[in-house]
Structure 1
Amino acid sequence: MNPPVSGTRDAWRTFADAAAPTLAAWQRVLDDPAATQRQRLAQILDTNRDTAFGRAHGFAQIADAAQYRERVSVHSYAELEPWIERAQRDTQPVLTAQPPLFFERTSGNSAQQKRIPYTAAFLGELQHALTIWLADLYRRVPEIGEGRAYWSISPPLQAPGRAPNGIPIGSESDFAYLDGSIVAGLAATLIVPRLASDASDDTSAWRRQTLLALIEAADLAFISVWSPTFLTSLLRPLFDADDPTHRDTLAWLEAALPAPRRAALRHALEAGSCDALWPRLAAVSCWMDGPSRDYAATLQARFPQARWLPKSLFATEAIVSVPFGDDEGCPLAVAGHYFECIFDDGTVRETHELAPGDIVQIVVTTGGGLYRYALGDRVRVVCMTDRTPRIEFVGRVGAHSDLVGEKLDEAGVASVLAACIAAGDSACLVPCAAADPPHYVLLVASEVPCDRDALSVAVESGLARSFHYAHARRFAQLGPVRVRHLAGSPARLADLLQQAAEQTGVRAGDVKPRALVNRLVTADALLALTQR
C-alpha cells in the first residue's frame, strides 16, 4: 500500500515553511557574493586558527584573501593526505577545531580512494545547499509534493571502520548527511528498497530490489540521481530485449508485483516509456552538462511526463554549485565554502571577479578542513544570477592516460571524438595496457555499423596532433587505435561503463560518462565486457 498523499504533501509543506528564511537569505547573498565570501574565509580561518594546520600556516596573522594565498599553497589530495592521516591518529585538533564526525571514503573514477573529514561545520555547509535546492525545487515544481520521491542511495562498498583514534571511517548511509537538518523531515517521503542485510554485497540483488520498489510506487513524483547513466542502467533490463537479464527480470517482477502494477508495467513496455508506470512523476534531477549531456537527452524520451532539471556540481569533498532558478547552469555555492578560481594561465580570481564565458578550475576551502583544495573540476561561467556566477561542468583537470609517455587528457580526447564520431553515437577511448605493444581501443556504440578502419585513421590523426602521442606512435611504443563497434543503442556504452566501474569498486550512483577511461582496472573490465 502506498502512503496517503496527504502525508507527503504535509512533509513538503512543513519543510518549505522551515526553509523559507534560508531561501530568503540565499537570495540576498546572490547580490553580494564578495562580502559573503570574505566572511566565509574569515570565519573558517578564525575558527581553526589554533589547530595544528592553522598554527603551521599562521592563520592568526592572515587578514585577507591575498595573505591566505601567500601562506597556504594549493593542495592536491596527495599533498594534504599527511595532515588527514595525522587527523586519524591524533586526539588533538589537526585540521579543524571540531573533531571529524567521520572520514568519508570517495568512490569516484580516480584510482586513489580518499578519506575526506566530515565535521559538523562541513555537514552544515552541505545541508545548507540541500535546503536551498529542495526549497527552490518545491517552489518551482510543487507537484513533487503530490507523491513520494526516489533519491539515489548507493549501497556502501565497504563496511564502516575505525581510524586509530576511534573516529569512524565511512558513513553507515548517505542519510547520515541529513542528521539534524530540516531536510531530514523529508526522509519519510522517500522510496526505500527492501534489502536484506547483506544485499549491498550483491549488486544484482540491490538493483532488482530497487527496480521493484520503484515500479511498486504508483505515486512516484520525483527522481533524483547523479548520473543519467545510473538510471539508464537501472531501466535497461526492462526496455532492452537484448539485455541478458531482460527475461529473468521481467518474470521476477511479474511474480512480485500486484495486478495493477503488472498491468502498468506491461503498458510501459508496449509504449517504450515510463508515463504509464509513474503518471504523477513531475521532475527528474540529474547531471545534464559535460559528458552527461547526451546521455540525459537520450534518457528524457523515457519520461515524457516529467520536467528535467540539472544537478549541481557536488563532490564528496565539496558542494560547488546549487540548483536554483530556471536559468542555465547553477549558481556557485558562495554561502557554503570559500572558492578560488584558477584560469589556464595560472591567474587566480575570486568568484565575484568572474564573467560569462570564463573557464576555470575550482579550488575550495571548507569547514571540513580542506584548505585551498584543488577539486580537479573545470567549469564554465554561463551567465549570472544577480552578481553570482552560474556555472556548468566542463570536465576533469588531470583526467589523463599515460601508458608510455603519450600524456592523453580527457578534454583533448573528447575534442577528437567529437570531430570523428557521427552525431547521436557515443564513444570513449580505453587504454589496453596489457597488450604488446600497448594501445588504445575506441568503443563506439551506434545503431548502424561504422567503418572501423576509416574511424581508426581519423582518431589516430586527431590524437597525433599531440606531440607526445605522435612521438610514442613514431617509436612504436604504442600500437594504433583499434575500434570496437557496439551494435544497438548509443546508450549501450554508458551501460557497459556503468557495469565495469561497479565491478571495480565505484559506487553505482557515482559513475560518470567518460570520453577517456583512465582508471586501468575499470579499463580492463570494460575491455573484457566488450571483448566479443
Structure 2
Amino acid sequence: MALINGITRKVAHKFTHKVAQNLSSRGYKQFCKALAQPQAVQREKLSSLLKVIAPSVSGKKYNLSSSLFYEEFIRKVPITEYSDWAEQIDKARAGSSKELSIEANERFQPTSGSTSKIKWIPYTQSFLNELDAAISPWMMDMYMHHPGMLKGTHYWSLSWMPTELRRTISGAVNDDLKLLPWWKRLFMGLTSSVPEGVSLADTSEDSQFATLCYLLADKSLSFLSVWSPTFALTLFDNIIKHKLELVSVLATGKWGERAPALPGLKCPRSQ
C-alpha cells in the first residue's frame, strides 16, 4: 500500500507541475519578448508607476509627474533609505490614503534587517502583479534546466513573521500564498512540502522546527526557495542544534513538548 501511495503521489506531483509549467509559459514568452527592448520596457514601467505615485503625498513632495523621463526622475528623487519613508508608511498603516501612491495597499509585510528594527513594506496590487510576472519566467526557466523539479515537492519561504507580531496581526499577512493568483495558490498547495499551518505556530522558533521536521521527512523534496539566505542558514544550523529532538519527533510522529505551540498541525514521521 505504501508503494502504491508513493507512486500515486509522484504521478500527481508530475501532473501538477506540468500544468503549472504550461500556465507559466505565457509569462515566460512575454519576458523573453521584453528582453529584446529592455530600455523601452523599463521606461514604460517607470511611466506606469509615476501615474499612481505623482498624485500622492510622496509624489507632490518631489514634484513628480507622470510624464517625467528617467533622466529627470533621477535628478528629482535622491537615493533614500527606509527611515526616509517610515513616517509616511506609519500614516498609511494607520489609514491615511494617498501617502505613498493613490493605489490601495493590500497589506503591510513586516520584515527586519541586520541594521534596524522591523520594517513595514507596503504591498499594492501592482507590486503583487510584478512579483507574479517575475515568478512565471523564472519557474519556466527552472523547469527547462532542472527537469527533476517536475517529480517532487517544493518548499517556498518568501517571508517570516517575527515572534512578537504573531498574535497581533492578521494571519493573512503570514500567508505567502495569498500573494499569488488563484492557480499558483492551488499549485503551491498541491506540491508544497510544508503545510501553511506552520506559519501559525506560537513562535518563529516553533515554525522553523516544524518546517525542518516536514523537510527532513519528505523523500520527494526536489526544490527549495528562500527569500533570505540568513533564514536558510539559520534553518539548516537548527538541524544540528535540535538533532536529538528532531530524531525523536520523526521517529514517533509526535510533537512532544512542542504540541501546545503547534495546535491542529499533523506531525510528520520518517518512513
Q: TM-score range by the shorter chain?
A: 0.7 to 0.9
Structure 1 position 224, deviation (Å): 2.2
* 1:233 corresponds to 2:218: no
Structure 1 position 38, deviation (Å): 0.8
Q: Counterpart in 2 of 1:159?
A: 166
Q: Distance in 2 between matches of 1:13 and 1:251?
A: 37
1:61–1:129 CA distance, 2 compared to 1 (3 A): closer
1:112–1:201 CA distance, 2 compared to 1 (3 A): closer
Q: Counterpart in 1 of 2:16?
A: 11
1:91–1:190 CA distance, 2 compared to 1 (3 A): same
Kept in 1: contact 2:92–2:99 (CA 8 A): yes
1:111–1:169 CA distance, 2 compared to 1 (3 A): farther
1:112–1:7 CA distance, 2 compared to 1 (3 A): same
Kept in 1: contact 2:239–2:246 (CA 8 A): no
1:146–1:170 CA distance, 2 compared to 1 (3 A): closer
Q: Counterpart in 1 of 2:249?
A: 252
Query: Matches of residues 409-448 of structure 1 in structure 2 within 5 Å?
Result: none
* 1:88 corresponds to 2:85: no
SS at match of 2:202: helix
1:160–1:175 CA distance, 2 compared to 1 (3 A): farther
Kept in 2: contact 1:131–1:182 (CA 8 A): no
Structure 1 position 261, deviation (Å): 4.0
1:145–1:85 CA distance, 2 compared to 1 (3 A): same
What RMSD in Å do the two structures reach over aligned CA positions?
A: 3.0
SS at match of 2:103: coil
Q: Which amino acid aligns with 2:211?
A: T
1:159–1:246 CA distance, 2 compared to 1 (3 A): closer
Which stretches of structure 1, 4 residues or longer, exceed 4 Å deviation after superposition?
193-198
Query: Matches of residues 322-333 of structure 1 in structure 2 within 5 Å?
Result: none
Structure 1 position 232, deviation (Å): 2.6
Q: Which runs of 5+ in 2 are unaligned?
A: 255-268
Q: Counterpart in 2 of 1:276?
A: none
Q: Distance in 2 between matches of 1:192 and 1:169?
A: 17
Q: Distance in 2 between matches of 1:91 and 1:154?
A: 25
1:84–1:177 CA distance, 2 compared to 1 (3 A): same
Higher strand share: 1
Q: Counterpart in 1 of 2:72?
A: 67
Kept in 1: contact 2:155–2:193 (CA 8 A): yes
Q: Which amino acid aligns with 1:140?
A: H
Structure 1 position 171, deviation (Å): 0.9
Structure 1 position 105, deviation (Å): 1.0
From 12, 28, 31, the equivalent of 1:26 is 31
Structure 1 position 64, deviation (Å): 0.7
From 43, 46, 51, the equivalent of 2:56 is 51
Q: Distance in 1 between matches of 2:210 and 2:68?
A: 54
Q: Distance in 2 between matches of 1:58 and 1:117?
A: 22
Kept in 1: contact 2:17–2:150 (CA 8 A): yes
Kept in 1: contact 2:208–2:235 (CA 8 A): no
1:160–1:10 CA distance, 2 compared to 1 (3 A): farther
Structure 1 position 70, deviation (Å): 2.7
Q: Distance in 1 between matches of 2:72 and 2:191?
A: 47
Q: Percent identity?
A: 21
Higher-Rg structure is 1
Structure 1 position 144, deviation (Å): 0.7
Q: Counterpart in 2 of 1:110?
A: 115
SS at match of 2:108: strand
SS at match of 2:222: strand
Structure 1 position 249, deviation (Å): 3.1
Residues paired across the two proteins, number? 246
Structure 1 position 134, deviation (Å): 1.2
Query: Matches of residues 168-317 of structure 1 in structure 2 within 5 Å?
Result: 171-178=173-180, 180=181, 182-187=183-188, 188-193=190-195, 199-201=201-203, 203=205, 205-225=206-226, 226-227=228-229, 228-237=232-241, 245-256=242-253, 261=270
Q: Distance in 1 between matches of 2:116 and 2:52?
A: 33
Q: Distance in 2 between matches of 1:80 and 1:153?
A: 23
Kept in 1: contact 2:212–2:235 (CA 8 A): no
The Cα offsets for residues 36-63 of structure 1, whole Å up to 9 and x where unpaired, read as: 1111111111233322222333323743
1:221–1:103 CA distance, 2 compared to 1 (3 A): same
Query: What's the TM-score once normalised by structure 1's chain length?
Result: 0.42
Structure 1 position 146, deviation (Å): 0.8
SS at match of 1:98: coil
Q: Which moved more, 1:182-191 or 1:221-230?
A: 221-230
1:47–1:247 CA distance, 2 compared to 1 (3 A): closer
1:59–1:144 CA distance, 2 compared to 1 (3 A): same
Q: Which runs of 5+ in 1 are unaligned?
A: 163-167, 238-244, 263-532
Structure 1 position 6, deviation (Å): 2.3
Q: Counterpart in 1 of 2:258?
A: none
Kept in 1: contact 2:217–2:270 (CA 8 A): yes
The Cα offsets for residues 264-308 of structure 1, whole Å up to 9 and x where unpaired, read as: xxxxxxxxxxxxxxxxxxxxxxxxxxxxxxxxxxxxxxxxxxxxx
The Cα offsets for residues 66-113 of structure 1, whole Å up to 9 and x where unpaired, read as: 221232222211112222223223443221121101111112322222
Query: Matches of residues 444-483 of structure 1 in structure 2 within 5 Å?
Result: none
* 1:145 corresponds to 2:150: yes
